[in-house]
Amino acid sequence: MRLSEVKRKTKETNIEINFSLDGSGRSTINTGIPFFDHMLDTFSRHGRFDLDIKATGDLHTGCHHTIEDIGIVLGQAFLKALGEGKGIQRFASIIIPMDESKAELVIDVGGRPYLVFEGSFSGPIEGVIEPWLIRHFFESFIQNAKVTIHANISGFSDHHKCEALFKSFAIALHNATKVVYDDGLVPSTKGVL
């Protein structure tokens, strides 16, 4: 089983994450930010990842530190669970609609952190999460997970755009990390991710 446990405590947050790449989509998530809990549950369910997140943060100052630090720790937990990445598909792409909204996402689990993020949100999502924090979550994740993501969102409802984005992220990550080769090799000309 490809699983991990990562803890990170700072003066601003205390995050504990248990993560399994080979799960069933079960999650227990408590970040103190209900809409973000919903997005992380969506990520778990559609990616078929088992995910436990226990997070406390200085929410009296806003969501920034908590969302950023969850991105950091989830990226670390993903990288630890992935291990050497022997036999994985490595690349994946997906297009997910949600009513009037659409998210397109391509991913390379290749050891190179890079984010291209196209699209925007019109205001605080569900009145709580500042629009730039969604992109910042992905920046924090990819820097620690060492993956490349190109994401494009469109539509009218910020809720729907965000949910389509997290679903596409989950499914693409699931597909890219499937073990599809039984040769025991890492899918890279370098021999390592």
If you write DSSP's letter for every residue of 72-119 in order, what string do you get? HHHHHHHHHHHTT-TTB--EEEEEEEETTEEEEEEEE-SS--EEEEE-
Full-model pTM? 0.96
pLDDT band at 139 (very low <50, low <70, confident <90, very high): very high
- Residue 189 pLDDT more than 90? no
Domains of the chain: 3-176 (3.30.230.40)
Structure tokens at 26: 């079960």
Q: What is the pLDDT of residues 70-101, one digit of tens each?
A: 999 999 999 999 999 999 999 999 999 999 99
Q: What are phi and psi of 172, to 5 degrees?
A: -65, -45
DSSP letter assigned to residue 151: E
